[in-house]
Each structure stands twice: as structure tokens, then as C-alpha cells.
């Protein structure tokens, strides 16, 4: 019976030792999985932060482009208004000059008529 007990004890020690090794391996595997999950979560957070940063930068870029476009269009509108004002001023100046020229021509025509009348009166006398 002692042999049987010794064999049984040796066999159960071997089984316990096997299970202890398997438990240690399972615990190591569990630690590895836990470490992997923590690292994965860290990487996922980093990726999410980078994606958000890229989205924000892209939105800022589009906002800046829209601002530049708006400013450019406002500047263009101002330049066109200035050009229209200059055209109107030029037309006004040209109209005034034409009026002055017409007045001068009318005056010259009247002077010429008066001179002719004067010459005709001088000839009669």
C-alpha cells in the first residue's frame, strides 16, 4: 500500500506540477493579452487624436481659404467700385469739357457774326 500511496502521491505531484505550469503559462498569456489591450487602446487613442487634429487642421485650412476668398472678392468689388467712380468722374469731366468747347464755339460763332455785321455796316457807310 505504501508503494501505491507513493505512486499516487508522485502522480498527483506531477499533475499538480503540470497544472501549476499551465496556470503560470495562462497567467503570463493573460498578462500579455492585458498588455496588448492597453497598448492597443493607447495606439487607438493616439490615432483618434491624430485624426481629430487632422480634421481640425483641415477645417482651419478651409476656413482660412474662405476668408481669403471673401477678402479677395471684397477687394475686387472695391476695385470695381473705384473703377466705376473713376469712369463717372471721367465722363463728368469729359461732358464739362464738351460743354465748355460748345460754349466757346457758340461764342466764336457769335463773334464771327458780329464781325460780319460790323464789316457790313462799315461798307455801307
| CA 100-106-109 angle, 5° bins | 140
The number of domains in the chain is: 1
- 116: in domain: no
- 117: in domain: no
- 55: in domain: yes
State the cell numbers at 14.
506531477
- 123: in domain: no
Residue with cell 503560470: 24
- 109: in domain: no
Distance of CA 73 to the CA centre of its chain: 15
As a whole number of Å, the CA-based R_g of the chain is 53
Per-residue confidence at 3, pLDDT binned at 50, 70, 90?
A: confident
- 113: in domain: no
How does pLDDT run across 91-115, given as a tens digit for each residue? 999 999 999 999 999 999 999 999 9
- 120: in domain: no
Residue with cell 483641415: 58
Helix spans in the chain (H):
2-124
Sign of CA dihedral 58, 62, 68, 72: positive
- Burial classification of residue 76, based on how many CB atoms lie within 10 Å of its CB (0-12 exposed, 13-18 middle, 19 or more buried): exposed
* Residues of the domain holding 68: 1-89
pLDDT recorded at residue 125: 66
Amino acid at each position: 500500500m505504501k508503494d501505491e500511496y507513493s505512486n499516487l502521491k508522485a502522480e498527483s505531484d506531477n499533475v499538480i506540477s503540470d497544472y501549476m505550469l499551465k496556470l503560470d503559462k495562462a497567467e503570463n498569456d493573460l498578462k500579455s493579452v492585458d498588455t496588448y489591450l492597453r497598448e492597443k487602446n493607447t495606439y487607438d487613442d493616439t490615432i483618434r487624436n491624430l485624426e481629430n487634429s487632422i480634421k481640425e487642421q483641415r477645417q482651419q485650412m478651409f476656413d482660412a481659404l474662405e476668408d481669403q476668398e471673401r477678402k479677395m472678392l471684397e477687394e475686387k468689388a472695391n476695385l470695381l467700385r473705384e473703377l466705376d467712380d473713376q469712369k463717372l468722374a471721367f465722363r463728368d469731366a469729359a461732358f464739362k469739357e464738351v460743354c465748355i468747347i460748345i460754349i466757346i464755339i457758340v461764342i466764336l460763332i457769335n463773334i464771327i457774326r458780329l464781325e460780319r455785321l460790323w464789316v457790313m455796316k462799315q461798307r455801307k457807310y
